[in-house]
Amino acid sequence: MNGWTGYILRVNLTDKTWKKESFTEEFAQKWVGGRGFAAKILFDELKPGIDPLGPENKLVVALGPIAGIPAPNTGKVVVAAKSPLTGFYGDGNLGSNVSSQLRKAGYDAMIIEGAADAPTYLNIEDDKVEFLDAAEMWGKGTYFGNEWIYKKHGRNAGVLNIGQAGENKVLFAVIRSLEGRAGGRPGIGAVMGSKMLKAIVVKGTKQIPQADPELMKKLGIEGLKKARELDQKTGWSKQSTNAVLAWCNEVNGLPVQNMRKTSHPEAHKIDGERLNDARIATYGCPSCTMHCGITIHDDEGRESELDYENIGMLGPNVNVFDLKKVGSLNYLCDDYGLDTISAGAVLGFYADAIEHGATKGDFKFGDADKGKTLLWDIATRKGEAGNLLADGALKAAKVYGKNSADYAMQVKGLEMAAYNCKSIPGQALAFGVAAIGGHHREAWIITFELKHSKRESYGPEKAAKVIELQRIRGGLFEMLVACRFPWVEVGYELENYPKFFNAVTGLDWTLDNFWTAADRAYSMIKLHYLREFPNVTRKDDYPPAVWFDKSNADTEGPQKGVVLEYDKYDSLLQHYYDARGYDKRGIPTLETLKKLGLADEAAAAGKHAKLS
Amino acid sequence: MKVTVKLIGPLIYEGGFSEKVVQLPGPMTAGELSAFVKIDKKRPTIITRNGRAVANSDTIDDGDRVVISHIYSGG
Task: Give the whole-angstrom CA distance, residue A283 versus residue A304.
Answer: 11
Is residue A132, in this structure, part of any structural domain at all?
yes
Residue B74 has pLDDT above 90, yes or no: no
pLDDT tens, residue by residue, A465-480: 999 999 999 999 999 9
Q: Is the dihedral of CA A101, A107, A108, A113 positive or negative?
A: negative
pLDDT tens, residue by residue, A367-382: 999 999 999 999 999 9
Task: Give the whole-angstrom CA distance, residue A189 versus residue A166.
Answer: 5
Chain B residues with beta carbon closer than 8 angstroms to that of A477: none
Contacts of A580 (CB under 8 A, 6+ apart): A467, A519, A522, A588, A592
Contacts of A406 (CB under 8 A, 6+ apart): A544, A545, A546, A549
* Length of chain B counted residue by residue: 75
Q: Count of domains in chain A?
A: 1
Task: Give the whole-angstrom CA distance, residue A610 versus residue B7.
Answer: 53
pLDDT confidence band for A493 (50 / 70 / 90): very high
Contacts of A412 (CB under 8 A, 6+ apart): A86, A88, A436, A437, A438, A529, A540
Is residue A77, in this structure, part of any structural domain at all?
yes
pTM exceeding 0.80: yes
Is residue A342, in this structure, part of any structural domain at all?
no
Residue A411: φ, ψ to 5°: -130, 130
- For A418, name the nearest residue in chain B, comparing CA atoms only: B74
Average pLDDT for residues A214-226, to the nearest whole number? 98
Range of the domain at A67: 7-203
Task: Give the whole-angstrom CA distance, residue A101 versus residue A404.
Answer: 46
Cβ atoms of A521 and A479 within 8 Å: the answer is yes
pLDDT confidence band for A27 (50 / 70 / 90): very high
Task: Give the whole-angstrom CA distance, residue A446 versus residue A423.
Answer: 11
Question: Which class would CATH give B2-70?
Answer: alpha beta
Average pLDDT for residues A104-108, to the nearest whole number? 98
Min Cα distance A247 → chain B (Å) is: 7
Residue A180 has pLDDT above 90, yes or no: no
Is residue A353, in this structure, part of any structural domain at all?
no
Task: Give the whole-angstrom CA distance, residue A223 versus residue A219.
Answer: 6
DSSP A258: T
pLDDT tens, residue by residue, A425-469: 999 999 999 999 999 999 999 999 999 889 999 999 999 999 999
Cβ atoms of A188 and A62 within 8 Å: the answer is no
Hey, which residues 387-406 in chain A have their CB within 8 Å of chain B? none
Is residue A122, in this structure, part of any structural domain at all?
yes
Is residue A95, in this structure, part of any structural domain at all?
yes
Among residues A267, A136, A257, which one has the least CA distance to residue A198? A136
Chain B contact present for A252, CB below 8 A = yes
Among residues A38, A337, A76, A77, which one has the least CA distance to residue A192? A337
Min Cα distance A273 → chain B (Å) is: 7
Which residue of B10, B52, B73 is in closest CB contact with A444?
Answer: B73
* Length of chain A counted residue by residue: 612
Chain B contact present for A444, CB below 8 A = yes
Start-to-end CA distance of chain B, whole Å, equals 37
Cβ-based contacts under 8 A for chains A and B: 87
Residue A527 has pLDDT above 90, yes or no: yes
Residue B38: φ, ψ to 5°: 70, 35
CATH number, domain containing residue A198: 3.60.9.10
pLDDT tens, residue by residue, A377-423: 999 999 999 999 999 999 999 999 999 999 999 999 999 999 999 99
A235, B14: Cβ pair inside 8 Å?
A: yes
Cβ atoms of A479 and A191 within 8 Å: the answer is no
Min Cα distance B71 → chain A (Å) is: 7
Among residues A519, A515, A520, which one has the least CA distance to residue A598? A520
- Give a three-class secondary structure readout of A272-296: HHHHHHHCCEEECCCCCCCCCEEEE
**Count of helix runs (H) and strand runs (E) in chain B:** 2, 7
Among residues A474, A369, A336, A345, which one has the least CA distance to residue A417? A345
Min Cα distance A450 → chain B (Å) is: 6
Is residue A382, in this structure, part of any structural domain at all?
no
Task: Give the whole-angstrom CA distance, residue A296 versus residue A300.
Answer: 11
Which residue of B50, B52, B72 is in closest CB contact with A247?
Answer: B72
For residue B35, the SS3 value is: helix
Is residue A166, in this structure, part of any structural domain at all?
yes
Interface test with B, best of A232, A455, A489 (most B CBs within 10 A): A489
Start-to-end CA distance of chain A, whole Å, equals 37
**pLDDT over 90, % of chain A:** 99
Average pLDDT for residues B46-61, to the nearest whole number? 96
Chain B contact present for A415, CB below 8 A = no
B8, A247: Cβ pair inside 8 Å?
A: yes
